[in-house]
Structures are given as structure tokens and as C-alpha cells.
């Protein structure tokens, strides 16, 4: 269990950019990727805004362009982000890699929602014989992880995590655990989501979970702000190359950071609401710090789950204060990049870990934009509106999901 684990590649597809430099440039300059939804007609919906991935051509992401037509959009995004991670990690060709010890832990909170919707429409309107024979493999939440393995011939462990918005943090953490245990040397780990569909917008909208600030989309996601009115639904994917240290060094890989800690817990409280006292989320954060061998005072930056919901942002603030004690106000800085990307659901953890890694590289904390008047209960340093220069040696990323799933990742600046 003393094997060290590092991150050597990053692949990103998000509403603020389809590559790592564009993504980080937007976040570091406080630019939002939220706008009117264009994927379908939203005139009948209360919420008409979202975070769409723009200028994405699925056929260019697969080795065989025909395979793109047999994949749901969430799988297309996962394959695209994985390809970017492979290129960024210097793994093109996979020379010298034992593919029996290279795997995929890739998750999604919902899976192929649009495929379910489209094929159900075919069933109702045209009859059972017109339902696509590809419907099942298109919609199941594990298929993206399988497709990525097929793209690269990765025969090692392959699991898809489905823990709602904690999914990709769980994939990253379980990749860390499997490598430390010695059962693999390298993973593509992360998550993808493509729930901007009529059914998704209806379901979240009727829960009253979504912002309806349709007249000002870029200001709609406003974590910790007093006037927040719900999250902004977004799509996207984030994938990391997670690798055993000596394996990475042997092939001369660039190392972004050490993946040092992982914590997970369950609120066991409510289907959608977090426990008000923050005890479940605090347990995950405390466990991650313990595994990483760091104290609360040593954590420089926390990328919060903070979705911009009235209840959730207060509960996370309470959890941070519970886990960090005096350090929560004394030394920690917190921000929510969902203020710019919207909420990518099962992809959020990996997307936000990418932000942590870039923040660590550049000693620059991305801001929480649209933060003008804090809620009384939200009283931490949220880096309002403008990025801040700050050396970052230890960063933490939180992801919490419906069902009470909590998952926290800690990364450290790499020291050989």
C-alpha cells in the first residue's frame, strides 16, 4: 500500500472549453460558459439555460467514425475527453505499456438519457419494432467505460461508478486505491454527463433545483451568494491519467501532482438534500486528509461542490468548518468553478480536479464569480469574482451526490 500515485494526463470537454488551455484560461479570467440552450426548443420550460459543450464533432473522436453513431452523447464526450487525456499523457501508441495492467474507471451519474428518451418516443409513435437494437448498449451507464477500453485495448480493471454527482471523484479515488493495492499500474479515470435533454431539464426543473435566471445566463450560477436560486444544468467530461509513480517515471511522463488522499461517506439522510450539520461531507474530507497525511492547516485550496442551491451551499460551508476547525477561516481559501461551468453532474469531480491541478501549477486560485452578497451562513473566503495568486501545495476537491454520496480527493504538489 506504499505505492505512490500521480496524475500524468488531463482531458477536458466543458462549456468553457474543449481543451485544457482554453478551459483554464476561462476559469482563471472568470468567464462563464452558460447560455441559452440550443440543443432543443425550451419555450415550454421554466428553465431555458444551460452549459453546453460547443463545437464538438463526435465522429472525430473515435478511431472508427461509425462507432460515434452508435454511442450516446455522454459516451461520445467520454471518448473525446479520454482521447485528450491519452494525448496529454504521452500515451499515443501505448508503447511499452502492459495493457493487462491498464484499466478504465469512468463514471456517469445518469448515463444515456437522450437515448432512452429518443427510443421511448420511437416505441410510442412507431411501435416496438422501431426501437433501435443499439438502445440498451447506448443508454447503460457503464458503456462509456467499456467503449474507451475498446478504443485503446485496455484489459485491466474496468468499473463504472454511478454515484450521481460524486461519480467521477469515486472513479479517481478507486483508481488510486487499486493502484496502491498493486492490481494495476495505470487508469483512465473520470466521468461524463449529457443530461441537457427534454427529460433531464423537465425532471430537474420540476424539482425546483434549477436556476431560472433566463434573462442573465452568465450570472445564473452564483454559489454562496444570497440571491442564488438553483444550479445550472451542464454537460461535459473530464478524464485523468492516474498512474503509479515509478511506472510514470520509467516512461518519462510529465507529472501534474500526486493523488494523495481519498475520502468517501454517505449522509444516510435524504434522497436529495444534504444533512444540515455537514457530518457526512465532513467525514469524507477528514478521511481524505488522513490518507494524504495532511492537517487542515496544510490545505491551501478547496474546490467546493457548491452548486448554487440554497440548502446545499450552506450545508457544505457547515461541513468545511466541521472538518477544518479554525483553519476554515484562518488559512483555507474556497471557490466554486461551477459558477462558470455550471453543474456537469457525474463529470463534475474530474472537471474540478483539473481546475485544482491548473491552480496548483500556476499558483492561481480560480474565482467564484457572481458572488456579490454572501448568505449569512456562508462566511468563508470564497475568492469572489477575481482569481487570486496563492502558492498551492495541497488542494482538495469535493463532490456530493443525490442519495447522500460524498467523495473527496486531495492532491499534493509532486515532490520526488
- The pLDDT tens digits of the residues spanning 322-336 come to 999 999 999 999 999
The H or E element spanning position 259 is strand 257-266
Reported as a pLDDT band with limits 50, 70 and 90, residue 268 is: very high
405 carries an active-site annotation: no
Q: What is the band of 188 on the pLDDT scale with cuts at 50, 70, 90?
A: very high
pLDDT at 242: 98
Measured in degrees and rounded to the nearest 5, phi and psi for residue 330 equal -85, -40
pLDDT at 368 over 80: yes
Q: Among 250, 282, 315, where does a domain finish?
A: 250
CB atoms within 10 A of CB 63: 10
Q: Is residue 256 part of a domain?
A: no
Number of domains, the chain: 2
Tell me the pTM: 0.97
Domain containing residue 186: 5-250
Instruction: For residues 37-54, give the mean pLDDT.
Output: 98
Q: Quick one: 200 and 322 in the same domain?
A: no
Quick one: pLDDT band at residue 363, thresholds 50, 70, 90?
very high
Give the containing element (helix H, strand E) for 303: strand 301-303
Q: For this structure, is 165 an active site residue?
A: yes
Instruction: Give 288-314 pLDDT, tens digit per residue.
Output: 999 999 999 999 999 999 999 999 999
pLDDT band at 134 (very low <50, low <70, confident <90, very high): very high
Assign 162 a pLDDT band (cuts: 50, 70, 90): very high
Residues 230 and 293 in one domain: no
Average pLDDT of span 5-31: 98
Same domain, 55 and 202: yes
Model pLDDT, residue 130: 97
Residues with Cβ < 8 Å from 6, sequence gap 6 or more?
242, 243, 244, 245, 248, 253, 255, 256, 257, 258, 259, 414
Q: 273 and 246 in one domain?
A: no
On the question of pLDDT at 1 being above 80, the answer is no
Is there a catalytic annotation at residue 247?
A: no
Helices (DSSP H) in 163-307: which residue ranges?
Answer: 167-181, 198-206, 245-250, 279-292
Beta-sheet pairing, 257-266 with 158-159: unpaired
Same-domain check for residues 213 and 337 = no
Q: Which of 47, 104, 165, 356 is catalytic?
A: 165
**Are residues 245 and 267 part of one domain?**
no
> Residue 2 — pLDDT band, cuts 50, 70, 90?
confident
- Residue 411 domain-assigned? no
C-alpha 149/C-alpha 236 separation (Å) is 19
Overall average pLDDT of the 153-176 stretch: 98
Instruction: For residues 80-101, give the mean pLDDT.
Output: 97
Whether the pLDDT of residue 225 is over 90: the answer is yes
Element (H, E) at 242: strand 236-244
Whether residue 383 is contained in a domain is answered as yes
Query: What percentage of the chain's residues is helix, strand, coil (to nearest 5)?
Result: 40, 20, 40
DSSP state of 3: -
Residues 136-158: tens digit of each pLDDT: 999 999 999 999 999 999 999 99
The single residue of 47, 247, 291, 343 carrying the catalytic annotation is 343
Q: Do 47 and 15 fall into the same domain?
A: yes
Q: Which of 47, 104, 247, 305 is catalytic?
A: 305
Q: How far is it, in rounded angstroms, from Cα 173 to Cα 242?
A: 10
pLDDT, residue 241, reads 98
Amino acid at each position: 500500500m506504499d505505492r505512490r500515485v500521480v496524475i500524468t494526463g488531463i482531458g477536458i470537454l466543458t462549456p468553457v472549453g474543449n481543451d485544457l488551455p482554453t478551459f483554464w484560461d476561462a476559469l482563471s479570467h472568470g468567464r462563464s460558459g452558460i447560455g441559452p440552450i440550443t440543443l432543443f426548443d425550451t419555450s415550454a420550460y421554466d428553465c431555458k439555460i444551460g452549459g453546453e459543450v460547443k463545437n464538438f464533432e463526435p465522429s472525430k473522436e473515435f478511431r472508427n467514425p461509425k462507432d460515434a453513431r452508435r454511442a450516446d452523447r455522454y459516451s461520445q464526450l467520454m471518448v473525446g475527453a479520454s482521447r485528450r487525456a491519452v494525448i496529454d499523457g504521452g500515451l499515443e501508441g501505448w508503447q511499452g505499456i502492459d495493457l493487462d495492467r491498464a484499466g478504465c474507471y469512468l463514471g456517469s451519474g445518469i448515463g444515456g438519457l437522450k437515448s432512452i428518451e429518443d427510443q421511448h418516443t420511437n416505441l410510442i409513435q412507431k411501435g416496438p419494432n422501431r426501437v433501435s437494437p443499439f438502445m440498451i448498449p447506448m443508454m447503460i451507464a457503464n458503456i462509456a467505460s467499456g467503449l474507451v477500453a475498446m478504443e485503446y485495448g485496455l484489459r485491466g480493471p474496468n468499473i463504472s461508478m454511478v454515484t450521481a454527482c460524486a461519480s467521477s471523484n469515486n472513479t479517481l479515488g478507486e483508481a488510486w486505491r487499486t493502484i496502491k493495492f498493486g492490481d494495476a499500474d495505470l487508469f483512465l479515470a473520470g466521468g461524463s454527463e449529457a443530461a441537457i435533454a427534454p427529460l433531464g431539464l423537465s425532471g430537474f426543473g420540476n424539482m425546483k433545483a434549477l436556476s431560472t435566471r433566463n434573462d442573465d445566463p452568465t450570472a445564473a450560477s452564483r454559489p454562496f451568494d444570497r440571491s442564488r436560486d438553483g444550479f445550472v444544468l451542464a454537460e461535459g467530461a473530464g478524464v485523468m491519467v492516474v498512474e503509479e509513480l515509478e511506472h510514470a517515471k520509467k516512461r518519462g511522463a510529465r507529472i501534474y501532482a500526486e493523488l494523495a488522499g481519498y475520502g468517501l461517506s454517505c449522509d444516510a439522510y435524504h434522497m436529495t438534500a444534504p444533512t444540515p450539520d455537514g457530518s457526512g461531507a465532513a467525514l469524507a474530507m477528514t478521511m481524505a486528509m488522513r490518507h494524504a497525511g495532511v492537517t487542515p492547516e496544510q490545505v491551501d485550496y478547496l474546490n467546493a461542490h457548491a452548486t448554487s442551491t440554497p440548502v446545499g451551499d450552506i450545508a457544505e460551508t457547515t461541513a468545511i468548518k466541521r472538518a477544518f476547525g479554525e483553519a476554515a477561516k484562518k488559512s483555507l481559501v474556497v471557490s466554486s468553478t461551477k459558477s462558470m461551468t455550471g453543474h456537469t453532474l457525474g463529470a463534475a469531480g474530474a472537471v474540478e480536479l483539473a481546475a485544482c491541478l491548473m491552480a496548483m501549477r500556476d499558483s492561481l486560485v480560480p474565482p467564484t464569480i457572481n458572488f456579490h452578497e454572501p448568505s449569512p451562513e456562508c462566511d468563508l473566503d470564497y475568492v469572489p469574482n477575481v482569481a487570486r495568486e496563492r502558492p498551492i501545495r495541497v488542494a482538495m476537491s469535493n463532490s456530493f451526490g443525490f442519495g447522500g454520496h460524498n467523495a473527496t480527493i486531495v492532491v499534493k504538489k509532486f515532490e520526488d
